[in-house]
Amino acid sequence: MSLAAAQVLRERVHDLAAAGVGQLGVDDASPGGRLGHAPCREELTMHLRQLAEAVAVESPALFIDYATWVQIRHSQPDVSPLSEQLRALTEVARRDLPATVGNEVASMLEAASESLTAPAHSAGYLSGDDELSRIARRYFDDLLAFDHGAANQRLLAVVEHGTEIADLYLRVLQPVMCEVGRFWQLGKINVAQEHYCTAAVQGLMGQLNAHIFKPGVRRRVVLAFCVGDERHDVGMRMVADLATLRGFDARCLGGTVPVAELASIITRMKPEVVAISMTLVAHLGEVRDALRAVRAPGASKPRTIVGGYPFSLDPELWRRVGADGTAQDAVAAVDLIEEFTS
């Protein structure tokens, strides 16, 4: 039922968004602080697309997390346009969709409405007391000061003095990137600054290649990528780098790989494990399609693992998309790859 309900929702996103705008009584002369007609319709469209993906995998947690994200991004207080929007969409779903679909959709919208509270104050990702947390804070500050050259040199020195690359990735770079995202979400930095920080981290990871790749025979191929329009590929590269460090022949295809090309690449590379990374719930459908393509008749049928933020949020999501397993971080991902190939 849920896949069918999600399909109905996807097909009717535009007319339901328009009905939602009508339900809210929004027009361009709306009083200050309210969205005008077009932006409101755009927002409702975005909510409905996310909702469709959550409905498809029967995961209220995914939609609740999305609603919480919207609330923080817009710094909305408790009684906010978002709760009004969710209420309007609930009315529209019950009124305009076939009863079975409408009920399913409406109950997920209601669960999200009920869970909306004033956004809690967060201490951020860099508040630890240990040495690596201090290094992470300094690195973050350096990047916000646009000083990536010296910042990266300092981190390279940390590795040369014996810090494991896995620790650098999970305890410095990952929290720094999450903090960058939090700052962007709160409007404390803009997109250009976020791009600069990402480029600095990617540059550092490139420089670390010399410490990661050691020549020699590597037999077990691991293929890592993201599909659809998924551009968040830093976590996936971490998985591939740490797999390389543990002796795998890990090959990274990067982000936004077309699903249609997967079967031929699998046939050619014959990976033992395929690792798919996803950050945005909007790409769930493509991840499911990719898993199907990887297992298509004639292909070499590798084991499949999926990971990225939504899979940590909903611990059963990997099963529902049809993967063989998941892991919360890059070290656990490589442990799982070892388990699947031993």
Using CB under 6 A, list all residues that contact ligand B12: 66, 69, 170, 174, 177-178, 180-182, 184-185, 194-195, 198, 229-236, 238-239, 275-277, 279-280, 305-309, 326-327, 329-330, 333
Helices and strands, counts by H and E, the chain: 18, 5
Q: Which is nearer to ligand B12, 82 or 305 (CB)?
A: 305
Question: Minimal distance in Å, beta carbon 256 to ligand B12?
Answer: 8
According to DSSP, the β-strands at 221-227 and 249-257 are parallel
264 forms beta bridges with none
Question: Minimal distance in Å, beta carbon 14 to ligand B12?
Answer: 20
Question: Minimal distance in Å, beta carbon 296 to ligand B12?
Answer: 19
Q: Which is nearer to ligand B12, 83 or 279 (CB)?
A: 279
Residue 204 half-sphere exposure toward CB, CA atoms < 13 A:
28
314 forms beta bridges with none
User: Residue 90 and residue 104: Cα distance in Å, rounded?
Assistant: 10
What one-letter code names the amino acid at 221?
V
225 forms beta bridges with 254, 276
Q: Which is nearer to ligand B12, 37 or 74 (CB)?
A: 74
Question: Minimal distance in Å, beta carbon 225 to ligand B12?
Answer: 9
Q: Which is nearer to ligand B12, 28 or 339 (CB)?
A: 339
The phi, psi pair for 94, rounded to 5°, reads -65, -35
Question: Minimal distance in Å, beta carbon 332 to ligand B12?
Answer: 7
Q: Which is nearer to ligand B12, 96 or 324 (CB)?
A: 324
The H or E element spanning position 169 is none
